[in-house]
Structure 1
Amino acid sequence: MPELFSADWMNELKDQWNNEPEVSAKLADIAFSSIITCGFKDEDKPRGVFVVEKGICTSAGSYNGEKPDWDMRADRKDWMKWVDKGLGFTGMGLAYTTGKLKFKTGDYGAMIKNPKMAGPFVKSFGLMQKIKTQ
């Protein structure tokens, strides 16, 4: 069972992402390309990186200095809760407004107002539930 945001965990997320048309195909439709990083609020650097090119995750692994377009941070306990129970639109809005989910890079407000991005983004959190995580 991989550790949250380890290279193995990020690669399992990559496989889930690419196999979920409600995420990868929907983002391919809008030619979404970004470098996405994830980590913990109390750390300077993110832990994992996820590279998306035209909706498809082309690489994933441990963070190695890449410049993120999106850098999401939360406390470990909150990440683990979302990995276990998921996070829908309402939960994501609450997590963001209460400061549990922080975006060090990226415009959450603009993204959530764009249905072509918001739907796949929220669904991507559901993919985390499919990964056995320690």
Structure 2
Amino acid sequence: MAKLFSAEWMNELKDAWNNDPEVSGKLAEIGFDSVITCGFKDQEDPVGVFVVEKGICTRAGSWNGETPDWDMRADMDDWLKWVKKGIGMMGMGTAYATGKLKFKHGDYAAMIKDPRMAGPFVKSFNLMKDIGADELS
């Protein structure tokens, strides 16, 4: 299993994303373009990057200074819990409301109110469960 947010892991997530019509297909329908980064709340910079063009992830790997449209942060324990157990819409809302999931960039409230984005967003988190992860060292 690859380490969480490593280039290898991000590319496994890219493949899972692109192969899931409920994520890539639904986002392609609305022409979703975005640079998505992720990492840890206690770090200044993100760890991984995910570039999406018209719903399809065209590049994924280690963050290399890209400017994010979305930058999601959580503690390692929370990321690993979501990787292991997945998360639904209610769990996502709770994680955001309690500060377990933070957005340094991006408007979570606007996104979650738009069903064209909310469903694929939650589904993308559950793709992490499908690929699993090891803790970063």
TM-score by length of 2: 0.97
Shift of 1:132: 2.9
Query: Deviation string for 1:13-72 (max 9, x for gaps)?
Result: 000000000000000000000000000000000000000000000000000000000000
Tell me the residue number matched to 2:40: 40
Cα distance in 2 for residues equivalent to 1:82 and 1:65? 26
Cα distance in 1 for residues equivalent to 2:129 and 2:117? 20
- After TM superposition, where is structure 1 displaced by more than 6 Å over at least 4 residues in a row? none
Unaligned runs of 5+ in 1: none
Tell me the residue number matched to 2:130: 130
Tell me the residue number matched to 1:112: 112
Cα distance in 2 for residues equivalent to 1:22 and 1:13? 14
Cα distance in 2 for residues equivalent to 1:87 and 1:132? 13
* Letter of the 2:114 counterpart: N
Tell me the residue number matched to 1:63: 63
Question: What fraction of aligned residue pairs are identical, expressed as a percent?
Answer: 73
Tell me the residue number matched to 2:98: 98
* Matched residue count: 134
Unaligned runs of 5+ in 2: none
Pair 1:49 & 2:22 matched: no
Structure 1 SS opposite 2:52: strand
TM-score by length of 1: 0.99
* Letter of the 1:18 counterpart: N
